[in-house]
Structure 1
Amino acid sequence: MKTERVADTDVRYRRTGDGDLAVVFVHGFLDDQYAWDRLISRLTTPGIECVTLDLAGCGDRDAVEGPYDYDRFADEAGRVVDALGKPFVLVGHSMGAAVAELVAVRRPERARGLALVTPVPLAGVHLPDEMIEPFRSLGGDADGQRGVREQLSAAFPEAELDRLVATGRHMRPEAVRAIADCWNTGHPQGERPSAHAGPVLILRGERDGFVTEDMVDDAIVPRFTAVTAVSVAEAGHWAHIEQAAHVATHLDRLLAGAHRTDSLPEANTSRPQG
């Protein structure tokens, strides 16, 4: 494993493995790049390089000034992808799924697929003020952050729960508020079908009370043309942490397919469950 910096920026990224296909992981709200470690350690696809980064205001970059919005996040993740200089698959969790899509559609010649883990719609969630305010107010509130994670998960490993609460607690309140507004408001590109033509794997925790089955079916699946949607049993909003082995099995299938082609596959529509 090695850490590198994108030239002329403060964006650093970790590289694990060695292969001609990059798998770039984008974390979600209040999380950091290390939230992917349980999943990455269980992947078995040969010839891949796994790459993680912290978005502005999060993780090791909690002191970074704003703006904290989808265009800023997509620019940062996109710069990492460009620095790698190879075909890639993007894996995004929650709001990170929206960031992943934005990066992919801006680089169609190298994007080989998307894996969206409990994704929030790119168009936004649009919670009313009284429902979004508790999320906006989580900055510095360790007990509140722990409560949200416990409420929306089914099998969160205690050690990882403690670690992420400690990480999220250090985020600046102004960053937490802005990032919550970001995923709640969404991005204009989410109002129309996605320009990403490659395969899309959607993994939703069956017990996620935030990203519901209806939300996925109504606001996410119809925007893509080549979709496989999977329900992850005994998992909530952090399926990649709660059931890392299960998620890794499905992600390995996507990666194997991405490895077998030098170009984007033809679009198709399939939605198996399991």
Structure 2
Amino acid sequence: MRIDLNADLGEGFGPWRMGEDEALLGVLSSANVACGFHAGDPLIMEHTVKAALARGVDIGAHVGFPDLQGFGRRRMDLPAEELAAIVTYQLAALAGIARTSGHRMTHMSFHGAMGNLAAAEATVADPLVEAVARFDPDLTIVTSSSRAIEGAAARCGLRTAIAFLADRAYHADGLLVPRRLAGAVIHDEDAVLDRVRRLVGEGVVITHEGERLAMKADSILVHGDTAGALDLARAIRTTIEAAGGKVVPVSRLGR
């Protein structure tokens, strides 16, 4: 089994840092880098890109709503044209920094409320995914399971990599349980590792409702902004490799 191990990085701002990005880059195979709208700034982006390059880690744009104060987790109802422009702006920012740093952007993902809306609503997914395709049709969209995003990507000729969010609960329809609900975020490391073992061994996730949900994941995502993310990422990598799996970047999943 070949699978990507991914985390959201670069989510500080100015002198404020969030997470253990440098150490995490020694464990991960790919990273989603905040592009300044929900977190991050140009200097943090550049430092993250260069550190990823030095460790052979893929980078992708982590695109969210313009919501620094709410960390991109607050819903914003915006017209399709504005949604598309927001996506293009952030993709271009990271792609430019990557190019001048000697790295390249291989993928992108939607952050927080933007990702949740796109996953659930085709009217949101369509303009977002179309903007990605116009910007670079070679990018892979890393996304949690979503008929809306996967369908839009297929129509646009884009590849998708399905990410399993190891510390987030799923509904029976494959969508994430909203963070406002109890049990949406799983804090117990043993419980998270049990979920990873079940996914790798059986291709199954136990949903919030207690049902077995078949899931073929290409990537396992760790939230870099949560306490204990580094230890959890190390434990997940060990679990994957102990089961005979190989951790590879997003760009090498099909090779």
TM-score normalised by length of structure 2: 0.37
Choose between structure 1 and 2 for higher RCO, CA contacts under 8 A separated by at least 6 residues: 2
Give the TM-score, by structure 1 length.
0.35
